[in-house]
Amino acid sequence: MKKLFKVAFFYSFIVITTISVAYGIFFINQIRCIMVSYSGTGLREVDNGIYVDPEMDDIEVQLLLLNIEQSRDRVSLFFDSITASPTIIAGPSKDIMKKYGANLRSPGMNHITFLGTYIVLGPGGLNRDVISHELVHSELVSRVGWVNRETKIPTWFDEGLALMLDYRYANSDAMWMMLTSNGKNAPELPELANMHDFMRYTEKSPFFSYVTSMREVSRWWNIVGLEGFNEFSELLKQGYSFEEAYQMTESRYTFPDVGK
């Protein structure tokens, strides 16, 4: 029995070590972000949960803090309140993105982990549109829960919702119509369900991925509104699939007498 215990312990140790090393290799930037909350790792904490490159001067920091505050107002106005409190790591050089972000050419990104959400902003991401975009991602996970976000929310919904408060594509209708031949060549939503395929279309043009997603989420939101979104979040928590919750909410608000 003692020997069996020893063997089990040995193999458990090997498995846990292998998983930890693999996680460390693939998610080293994510681990760095998590560590920031504990040790700062050389970054300067300029406000609660906001860390910046120590090279940033006071004016740059003040401007960043103002942009974060105004982005929070934008998100809070849309969702009626803000429930997420992500850690933000920002800097005006590409090193920040390289060290804490991802190998994407994106100006900002989110690490959504079960320990919390970490927003990384590079040189192109210190403005209100990118900050609002990233804050919406963290707000969504805060509203629906980490497990639901990871297992049920398709990428097009997450990105489409974020783009509603990111005004870089606010006047995108004409260009979208042109690029997709009035929608005929736009990808179907299931083709934008996971990040890998979503990025494949983004490489072709963000109009195919981001704008197609935003058009669908805006259409849905215009029907259901914030009240419907809150019900949708509740339905996910009750165990309904994304498709069920999305359609149930839409039918309820399209035919308001049904089920009320």
Q: Which residues sit at the interface with Zn ion, rule CB under 5 A?
A: 159, 162
| Residue closer to Zn ion, measured from CB, 79 or 240 | 79
Under DSSP, is residue 45 helix (H, G, I), strand (E, B) or coil?
A: strand
Question: Going along 153-260, which residue ranges are E strands?
Answer: none
Cβ 45 vs Cβ 130: under 8 Å: no
Measured from the CB of residue 44, what is the shortest distance to Zn ion in angstroms? Answer: 26
Measured from the CB of residue 30, what is the shortest distance to Zn ion in angstroms? Answer: 16
| Residue closer to Zn ion, measured from CB, 87 or 202 | 202
| Residue closer to Zn ion, measured from CB, 162 or 165 | 162
Measured from the CB of residue 137, what is the shortest distance to Zn ion in angstroms? Answer: 6
| Residue closer to Zn ion, measured from CB, 53 or 159 | 159
The tokens of 211 are what? Answer: 């704008």
- Rounded Cα distance, 136 and 194, in Å: 18
What own/partner pairs with CB < 8 Å and gap ≥ 24 does 182-185 have?
A: none
Measured from the CB of residue 85, what is the shortest distance to Zn ion in angstroms? Answer: 19
Residues whose CB is less than 8 angstroms from the CB of residue 50 and which lie 6 or more positions away in sequence, other chains included? 64, 65, 68, 87, 88, 90
Question: Going along 14-103, which residue ranges are E strands?
Answer: 44-47, 50-52, 87-90
- Rounded Cα distance, 53 and 43, in Å: 5
User: Which residue minimizes CB distance to Zn ion?
Assistant: 162
The DSSP string of 118-140 is EEEE-GGG-SHHHHHHHHHHHHH
Number of neighbouring beta carbons within 10 Å of residue 44: 14
Measured from the CB of residue 138, what is the shortest distance to Zn ion in angstroms? Answer: 11
| Residue closer to Zn ion, measured from CB, 129 or 159 | 159
| Residue closer to Zn ion, measured from CB, 162 or 245 | 162
| Residue closer to Zn ion, measured from CB, 130 or 224 | 130
- Rounded Cα distance, 162 and 123, in Å: 20
Measured from the CB of residue 105, what is the shortest distance to Zn ion in angstroms? Answer: 13
Measured from the CB of residue 207, what is the shortest distance to Zn ion in angstroms? Answer: 15
β-pairing verdict for 44-47 and 87-90: unpaired
Longest CA–CA separation in the chain, Å: 73
